[in-house]
Amino acid sequence: MTELLVVAGEASGDRAGAAVLRRLEGVRAFGLGGPAIGGTGAAIVDDMRAWTAMGIGEAGARAARVLRAWRAVVNAVRARRPRAALLVNYTEFNLRLAPRLRAAGVRVLWYGAPQVWAWRPERARSLRRCVDRLAVMFPFEEDPWRRAGVDAHYVGHPALETTPLDRDAARRALDMTMYAAAVAVLPGSRPHEVRRLLVPMLDAYEQVRSDRASIDARVLVAPSLDRPTRTWVRATCQARHVATFDVDPNLGAMSVLTAFDASLCASGTASLEAALARAVPVVAYRVGVTTELAARTLLRTPYVALPNVLLGRPVFRELLQRDARAARIAEALADALDRRPQLLTACKEVAASLQIAGPPSAHVAQMLAPWLRDRSRAA
């Protein structure tokens, strides 16, 4: 049976990689992933949750776990000699792995381009030398990558894979009233994000709720979080009388976001999923001082929220660093709820910008298929 290496180091990449694997027949997959990739029957040589769950204060331990994962993947490649590799996001790890794979005669498909439009454009040169094909998730990425000499193809964003529940079904799944305005709270998929953002987000929600007759909320708990953080989230929410909901690792938050009128999101895929689900996003994010200084130096885009990047204008509120405090978040949330009819037009525009015929995973599987049939491994 044909061997395929798959490497994903983040929750969104885990779901995207799993969707591709489910479309491939006669292939034995192995590699790095989480519950979604493992759920397809792939042999997981190291679980990504072992280090994504670690907090910012555990940098040394996290580095040791990533090194262990690196050795596990390299040893597995040596032993199993895959015909092709599917590398999903996880840029720093995969940029080091891809040249080794090419040197070993393994065909490399990278799914989810490094965001060179946002920062560190020099990575385009590195990628050109070590991948065979690049499957990009945003339509504006295809031409620049091709001009850089990379065989890039727009395949659509993995968020398009999930068919969300309709509004009433989603509210039933969340045990919510059918008629009150509702807010989704998505404080992140990593412990340090959640511990920085959950409390100001809850404070902001409570401020808005105190001014309105009827409003409900749910905190959506990412499956990638470690047990202590999940326990802390539930205890914090219970003290505030706000219910939590555990996100399905295979579906992500997208499946239930249709229940909500607005959302408080950590920066990242969640803001895009919220816009696609018409849960008008308000984006908040905080990082440490050192990371902030580096970002100010390297960042090449005026926007952080993916919906704003796609639209090319600041439609949805972005509250970063010192602005990510309860009073500012509450003001932005109230505005999002009040202006929801107008903002829904922008949400529809975001969805239209991503449209492509067929599921993204089907396009990626089609790109892999010739290599998995080609026993000669010829270029």
For the entire predicted model, the pTM comes to 0.88
Enumerate residues 6+ apart whose C-beta is below 8 A from 9.
32, 48, 51, 52, 69, 89, 90, 93
DSSP H/E element including 184: strand 181-186
Q: How high is the pLDDT of residue 51?
A: 54
Q: Is residue 22 part of a domain?
A: yes
162 falls within a domain = no
Q: Are residues 204 and 289 in the same domain?
A: yes
DSSP H helical ranges for the chain: 11-21, 35-38, 49-52, 59-80, 91-103, 123-130, 142-147, 167-173, 191-210, 227-240, 269-276, 289-298, 306-311, 326-338, 340-354, 360-373
pLDDT of 207: 96
Please list the rounded mean pLDDT of every run of 10 residues in the chain (379 residues). Answer: 91 92 95 92 84 49 80 95 95 91 95 72 77 94 90 95 94 94 94 92 97 92 88 97 93 94 93 97 76 47 88 94 93 97 97 94 96 61
Residue 378 domain flag? no
Instruction: Find the domain containing 82 and state its range.
Output: 2-156+356-373
Q: Please indicate, yes or no, whether residues 126 and 171 belong to a single structural domain of this protein.
A: no
- 24 and 134 assigned to the same domain: yes
The domain that holds 177 is classified in CATH as 3.40.50.2000
Q: Do 180 and 132 share a structural domain?
A: no
Q: What's the pLDDT at 300?
A: 55
The predicted pLDDT at position 376 comes to 43
Domains contained in the chain, number: 2
Q: What is the 3-state secondary structure (H, E, C) of 231-299?
A: HHHHHHHHHHCCEEEECCCCCCHHHCHHHCCEEEEECCHHHHHHHHCCCEEEEEECCCHHHHHHHHHHC
- For residue 333, being part of any structural domain is answered with yes
pLDDT at 352: 96
Q: 117 and 195: one domain?
A: no
278 and 246 within one domain? yes
At 120 the pLDDT is 60
Quick one: CA dihedral 39, 40, 41, 47, positive or negative? negative
- Both 307 and 331 in one domain: the answer is yes
- Does 364 lie in the same domain as 328? no
Residues 81, 20 share a domain: yes
Task: Specify if 161 maps to a domain.
Answer: no
Question: Do 235 and 363 have their domain in common?
Answer: no
Q: Is residue 379 part of a domain?
A: no
Rounded Cα–Cα distance for residues 306 and 141 (Å)? 13
Does 8 lie in the same domain as 134? yes
Q: Are 243 and 218 in contact (CB under 8 A)?
A: yes
Q: Let me know if residue 149 belongs to a domain.
A: yes
Same domain, 206 and 101: no
The span from the CA of 309 to the CA of 95, in Å, is: 24
Query: What local confidence, expressed as pLDDT, does residue 289 receive?
Result: 46
Tell whether 106 is covered by a domain: yes
